[in-house]
Structure 1
Amino acid sequence: MARKDDPATVEYETKAKNLLKAELKRKGVTYGQLADRLSIIGIQETERNLNNKISRGGFTAAFLLQCLAAIGTATVHLSETD
């Protein structure tokens, strides 16, 4: 299991955080709106919790997929050059 301070882990947590932030921006969705949309699918998060969780970047793959589903993102493009 990768350690939290492992550079590879930090790199991919940063990529996940940036991916989610970019999708939120592209869709024009605020953290408050994301909280509302997540609650519709049964996920209870406050705007403040979302801000903290996304800023840290250390969230689960399930959380990432829940957020992407809640904002209506059907596809994501990953680039090895970011």
Structure 2
Amino acid sequence: MLVSSVACGHCADAEIVLERACAEGLVDLEVVDAESDRGAALLAQYRPAMFPLVLLDGEFFSAGRLPRGPLARVLGVPRARI
């Protein structure tokens, strides 16, 4: 899950990377607007210091710039695929 904010460069980058991973069947992607009720609830729960907030399997993965190396390790694929 990607909790994203408008005009957030890191959010746009994370969405591109996660959409590609989703197309390869590596993740299920749901994009949630930070200003929606659900987004606000997730922000209150996880309190990220930066956008985007990324959850994998319902657990906190990252906030801010998406760390591609750790994402590749979690997904069990070479970094070049991310």
TM-score of the pair, normalised by structure 2: 0.34
More strand as a share of residues: 2
Q: Provide the TM-score with structure 1 as the length reference.
A: 0.34
Q: Which has the larger radius of gyration?
A: 1
Higher relative helix content: 1
